[in-house]
Structure 1
């Protein structure tokens, strides 16, 4: 489009207007109906790329994008409140009846949380605030959901373009084997996900394995009593935690085998050193800053603060079983990781200014975030039908993968360390989830207190990273 190219050319020549442009693009992208007509995603990517190219501070770009998104959704909400009951006859809303109907169905299905989810859902994104206003959603509740969704939306839309622009300005020289290794790694990771979810489906209530084991267990009095005692009445029928039990046993056995091979043989030495060499060749100030930011999200202190906030939230919601299991999971991963590190006594890779003082295997960051995000996924997924839970686990696994990769990139762990940490964390998650299944009746509800608690956890994480980042950049700097 000629006007789009002209706009980008003009912004390139007048970068002083870029902050206002980012605000306006986010505003229009979030505005009712306008977000469908205007190519907001492409415009935001182009503006963010330019921001990275001219070295605009990323927090500044995120701030203006977030404010624009909040303002756009706010105006849409007001329009919906003002024209409630007449959206089907007033231009321009009357031209998009299917879009409005889709937004209404989505809002009826998800309620208030649909404002947060809807920010990331394709074509209905610009009409959800409009529908929320028309359905008389309380203004305070909408504002809270609006701000929370904008905090997640801004990085999603700004950071990719910003990184592209920054890379263009810095002219990063990637090693020739970077792309083949990247594609192969993504293919292996995707295969592992497919295998994992396929096994989970086979162990669900409709799976042949589940039904066969249930029939075997019910043939004896002891087996029947165990099956009934471990089962719980959830929102979608009675469930036995077979996937969780198999996850605990399977990952526990794999961890033991992985540790044995890592400690007693040299089978993984070549892989460890090749991985370290690969990532060391990628070290650069720009990705360094990103990797350090990601790795800080797995720091033990931050995880402890988040676990504490989660425990307090559960207690405030009178979900004592959930609080006790969260405490048990946190204590277990801390004790096991600390004792195993001391017992195996594997030295870390050398290459950063101030490496962590503890031993290397298993990775505490990997095990800690696996338990933290795994337990969070558990509490969220139990509210959904078995057939939809895989998507919850998929999204919550992404931070685990990113934090584990950041440890490899920064050169403070061997490849075997992060795999061992993830396996240990998954085993603890499975065991905790199997025990908690007996208390599924106490589900976490979408209450104002829940949203405030989640907001506090998010603000705590942002504040921790902002305060710790300068010192962490010095600690993880490459030794010259």
Structure 2
């Protein structure tokens, strides 16, 4: 059981108190590869710590700050739509339905269209969350969030995408490279077109507001496109539960980048949600096209040892390299 579902067990078990201290011992006794254990444990630890702290922090912030009357109803609508998409994708994946990718793409586009035409009616949600988050800022956390958001910058994601596609081509993973190119390039083009079409302005938090429009968030869409591509490729050839576990694991760093944009005050919550939906929809549509005739096969471990260190090292280097300039850019009023 642990050999088949070890990654999923680590992800889920971190959220269950009595299991949390037992999982490392179990993984060690059953010879789980240390690199896999370390990567999954780091992401799972970040996830459960946020999940345990956010409810209490949110409740305290809601009591401390007056929220508009329509805040909770708008939040319920958005969260309900996202949970519907996640539940449908999980159900179809666990049942091994052939058209689950097409179903996910269709639901994602439907919710995305709802956000596009409904964001003027979500004003209370956007302004309420921005006020709550800005009220909890700290100097130490500012620096951390700037490092995180740097991983989603245009030049960072551009070079990471180029590197990933080149490595896949060098390794002769033709269909995987086609899937990555369709997802990454398609997301970038769609994001640029939608920003130019809707032209929504950013929150007025920074001393020197950024010039480009905010809807949907380019950082959020680029990060989700890149990490979901890695998650989909990692799950090829795996059981359904493990494929879902890889997608959850890949979504964690992308979610952190998206939330950093709201924390820094350069995007509304609906901006980053729309960016995530855009990337997920194009990723699912690209996977449907690539797997139209036959499933996408798993890549050899040696290919992963070539791709992961190179891509993650590049993201980390770009994030830290221009930290002083980025801190100057994200100055608050």
For these two proteins, the number of residue pairs brought into alignment is 307
Do residues 398 (structure 1) and 284 (structure 2) align?
A: no
Question: Matched residues in 2 for 1:309 and 1:423: separation?
Answer: 24
Q: Is 1:443 aligned to residue 329 of structure 2?
A: no
Match of 2:113 among 256, 265, 271: 256
Contact 1:319–1:442 (Cα < 8 Å) also in 2:
no
Which has more radius of gyration? 1
Classify the secondary structure of the residue corresponding to 2:121. Answer: coil
Give the corresponding residue for 2:219: 365
Q: Considering only aligned residues, what root-mean-square deviation do their CA atoms show, in Å?
A: 3.7
Unaligned 5+ residue runs, structure 2?
A: 15-19, 50-59
Question: Residue 452 and residue 123 in structure 1: after superposition, are their counterparts in 2 closer, same or farther (change >3 A)?
Answer: farther
Residue 452 of structure 1: aligned partner: 306
8 Å Cα contact 2:231/2:246 also seen in 1? yes
Structure 1 unaligned regions, length at least 5? 1-104, 136-141, 162-173, 211-239
| Structure 1 residue 191, shift from structure 2 partner | 6.7
Q: 1:343 to 1:176 in 2, by over 3 A?
A: closer
The yes-or-no answer on 1:415 pairing with 2:301 is: no
Of 279, 293, 296 in structure 1, the residue corresponding to residue 150 of structure 2 is: 296
Which residue does the alignment assign to 1:273? 127
Provide the secondary structure at the position in 1 that maps to 2:116. helix
Deviation at 1:190, TM superposition (A): 8.4
- In the other structure, the counterpart of 1:345 is 199
TM-superposed deviation, 1:298: 1.4
For residues 229-270 of structure 1, give each alpha carbon's deviation from its aligned partner in whole angstroms, at most 9, with x where no partner exists: xxxxxxxxxxx2x111011111112212211123xxx41222
- Find the partner of 2:185 among 321, 324, 331: 331
Q: Tell me the CA shift for residue 325 of structure 1.
A: 2.0
Taking structure 2 as the reference length, what is the TM-score of the superposition?
A: 0.77
Confirm whether residue 385 of structure 1 aligns to residue 255 of structure 2.
no
C-alpha displacement of 1:383: 2.3
| Aligned residue in 2 for 1:235 | none
**Conservation of the 8 A alpha-carbon contact between 1:306 and 1:457:** yes
Q: 1:124 to 1:422 in 2, by over 3 A?
A: closer
Q: CA offset at residue 300 of structure 1?
A: 1.8
Matches of 2:176 and 2:39 in 1, distance apart?
27
8 A contact 1:321–1:439 mirrored in 2: no
Deviations 1:396-427 (A, max 9, x none): 22223222211111110122211211221111
Q: Is the 8 A contact 2:94 2:241 kept in 1?
A: no
| SS at structure 2 position matched to 1:424 | helix
Distance (Å, rounded) in 2 between the aligned partners of 1:150 and 1:206: 30
Equivalent of 2:89 in 200, 209, 230: 200
Alignment of 1:245 onto 2:245 = no
Q: For 2:123 and 2:195, locate their aligned partners in 1 and report how far apart those are by CA, in whole Å.
A: 18
How far did 1:272 drift? 2.1
**Residues 1:179 and 1:202: Cα distance change in structure 2 (over 3 Å):** farther
Within 1, Cα distance between the matches of 2:188 and 2:132?
A: 30
Does the residue aligned with 2:322 lie in a helix, a strand or coil? helix
Residue aligning to 1:36: none
Local SS of the residue matching 1:267: helix
1:153 deviates by 6.4
Tell me, in whole angstroms, the C-alpha distance in 1 between the residues paired with 2:304 and 2:66.
44
Q: Deviations over 1:370-414 (max 9, x none)?
A: 211221111112221124322222222222322221111111012
Q: Tell me the SS of whatever aligns to 2:213.
A: coil
Partners of 2:205 and 2:123 in 1: CA distance: 17
Deviation of residue 368 (structure 1)? 1.1
CA contact (8 A) 2:105 2:285 kept: yes
- Distance (whole Å) between structure 2 residues aligned to residue 310 and residue 203 of structure 1: 28
Q: 1:452 to 1:130 in 2, by over 3 A?
A: farther
* Deviation (angstroms), 1:196: 3.8
**Distance in 1 between the 2:84 and 2:193 partners?**
31
TM-score normalized by the length of structure 1: 0.55
Q: CA deviation at 1:130?
A: 8.4
Change (3 A) 1:124 1:153: closer
The change in CA–CA distance for 1:470 and 1:200 in structure 2 (over 3 A counts) is: same
In 2 relative to 1, CA 250–122 (structure 1 residues): closer, same or farther, beyond 3 Å? same
